[in-house]
A and B are shown apart, each in its own frame.
Chain A
Amino acid sequence: DTGVSQNPRHKITKRGQNVTFRCDPISEHNRLYWYRQTLGQGPEFLTYFQNEAQLEKSRLLSDRFSAERPKGSFSTLEIQRTEQGDSAMYLCASSFKDREKEKLFFGSGTQLSVL
């Protein structure tokens, strides 16, 4: 179990730029989630994949946000035309489809700072 891997760990960007984050889930997991967390708050659901299908998406996810999981393995989260309000920790999690399916394994996150 190598754990959920997220890259980069930190990203600083200027307002208006596009950014992309990558998540590599635990290899046997076919469910993948993206959450966003700001200081002093709990993680906030963004979207969820089962294999390559995006099955659920938060209304919080504006048109500037897009997530993909093209081959049902790694996933990317892209934010276009970043705004200062996008500054947050972006967390990826994965889980099994069948056994212990409710148990989420989180990565260490990507900390985004928009200047």
Chain B
Amino acid sequence: SQKIEQNSEALNIQEGKTATLTCNYTNYSPAYLQWYRQDPGRGPVFLLLIRENEKEKRKERLKVTFDTTLKQSLFHITASQPADSATYLCALGGSGTYKYIFGTGTRLKVLA
């Protein structure tokens, strides 16, 4: 069955450093991959989308890579700030369906 794995343990990093989060998947060939941010008690908020034919996408301090051979996406936050502390979810989408499959999320804590 389709499976998405994200770092299950929380990631603590020092302010100003680069945070790198991982999303691995199996038994799936997504047409695109998305990253969302979720704060406690709130719904996820869309951050970035990367398609299967793209290697890298950037938006301000955020960067996403997508390696369909390794079946992996990396999500980077550069110059991290305490306000970046949240849970980050990756989601896979396929052609012909709008049933997105979400990972369990990685909790990031940026220490001041």
Residues of A bordering B, CB below 8 Å: 4, 31, 33, 35, 40-45, 48, 55-56, 58, 91, 93, 95, 102-109, 111
User: What separation, in Å, do the CA atoms of A93 and B81 have in the docked complex?
Assistant: 28
Q: Across the interface, do B44 and A43 meet the contact criterion of CB distance under 8 Å?
A: yes
The distance in angstroms between the C-alpha atoms of A90 and B66, with both chains bound, is: 30
Bound-state CA distance A58–B97 (Å) is: 12
Give every chain B residue within 8 A of A105 (Cβ-Cβ).
Answer: 46
Q: How far is the CA of A45 from the CA of B4 in the complex (A)?
A: 14
Residues on A with C-beta less than 8 A from B34 are: 102-104
Interface size for B (C-beta < 8 A) is 23
Contact B43 A45 (CB under 8 A): no
Cβ A43 vs Cβ B102 within 8 A:
yes
User: Are the C-beta atoms of B89 and A43 separated by less than 8 Å?
Assistant: yes
Contacts of A111 in B (CB 8 A): 41
Which of B41, B46, B97 touches A104 (beta carbons < 8 Å)?
A: B46
Which 6 pairs between the two chains have the least Cβ-Cβ distance? A106-B43, A42-B102, A43-B102, A45-B99, A42-B104, A103-B46
Tell which of A42, A48, A56, A106 touches B105, judged by Cβ atoms closer than 8 Å.
Answer: A42
In Å, the complex CA distance between A4 and B34 comes to 19
